[in-house]
Structure 1
């Protein structure tokens, strides 16, 4: 993993109240918000306020959601505790490697800036941290980092030594799109169990670990329409993208909206059919390899719904065999990954017609940091 990352810990009267920073600030907040409040969408993480970032952008998002009554105060405290635990575990890992430096800074922040922050009971967090660290060391996982993303390799050999069911499961979770923490959250398992289950394949060379960039900062983007279930009158054709990768959805949104179309991103394949029936898009881009409900299954479900039978479906895949199988399910076109702007625009022009819409200026924010722990 890249060096140069830092964490900021906030203490009040000697008690820890908040922490931020690290490798995946946006990804981490989105994961914990989704866990506590599955009905929240990413557009709720876009902030238009230009002040009040004394504790960082991510804390401000939590505080604003409480003020808007989108989440309860108790849920917010649980999210804060989970984020603190995650950051402290990362710090412990890097400390064990002897690669940390510390810097202290005293700040006199206004009481009004604290929002929902309270003096947390650190003992339960430290007790849980100690238990996980002992389990981590016992499983001999010290060389791995939870922010790494597992990706399958040596596929032909792997197919020979695993059952078809096990291979399909591995292909869905170890696809290089999710970190170990994301996978644990998806499977509703603890991180030690997940990493331990994959560590053998990592040692044998069937899984490599890659670094993922953080999600694009929602505070710097136009308001998203992610997983919105509201039926709205629209003047322009609606393009949907069903893909469990936030990065792919974000890239698709930039291309589609600049081309003048409305956009709907759906990352949860379980909820996808209901959202598609509700919104009735004019064109659907779909990933085939998704957990729980695959793109193949979803294509078959769509074609059984009379209101969706005539909608054009374009599958996104990096595999020729997948493309052929998709054709048998009634898809209109296939595009290879990684996605290319010119090809996406070509598909839009092929199946839809609309005048380009004006682009919007990004929203800019500023944040201020305090004490840091740096790698």
Structure 2
């Protein structure tokens, strides 16, 4: 095995262990001064980010799928948590503005770039950080967006193969985030001089390896072979490139895009709405988020209880008429879960009769609200049941699955697992 693959193999082992134990958290990869974060939700990779050229990678991934950044935003910017890339993609998928297949391709592009750079270095350090990121979990639950395991295995193989095509004489970082220029001043024969001059406008010092592959509309492997030729001819020069400016619509706080760790502050209350109507979810999301709360919409009433136990929302908006299981039954089930027995539940319905109110009371709902209520009444309801944004209300004591290593039903989730002794699935991908 090439020494160049050793670093990637250690990461593959860690990924396999995370996948096997179905845990939520972050694989932190340190590569010199660069830090990579692979975010997992229940063992599934949902996003990959890095400390260098974070916005450039994001723009390239969107351009590769012919997605305009404006397509992923509404009038209200998403919250400023990390990873904001996943927030934008998952919100667009849930709102029907982006096909889930395209969103997965964006995640794959972000991940391939990271894995390729990791594969060019043997001296990486991989650590695991368990976490309970309710906002990320909410987005993952709502959209279901993630990279399938077989796709991730293929990306590991592609990154390994691609890294071996890049000349090893130059530091790995030079091929990833340096602007490349062609030096036409060196004396060459006529045929090579003509080729060099024709490509000079592309190799203008403002494009990286990945930018060139996208601009030339060719595979990274083909681009790597071309660069390898120019490198051997000593025609390439490298220039340090800054990252692009952070798009103001990506963060409500204007924080730097390259920051791998969000600022520590109290999170706004999380409101979960369970309703099979996307129109209703979109309307409520707009009202709730504009008021400064976090929002998660769910359309599947069957999976709702499991997801609620995982997310532990501060308030639940619950539709009555839904397929398979109605809102009153879900409400009664929620009240039987100790971790949720005191969570405010507001029943939503298009009917406002006495019988409906009695059924809501019997199911131990906190309040009854008509779906046709205006935004003022909806906000007044939220304010009655939710703490002030400036205060922090501790949740009732209950185990957090992603921190304790146990699922909601008490099954072992793999807490304290050893990253050095994983299952063989992802390791064999690099064999």
Query: Structure 1-normalised TM-score?
Result: 0.50
1 or 2 for the larger relative contact order (CA 8 Å, sep ≥6)? Answer: 1
Please say which structure displays the higher CA radius of gyration: 2
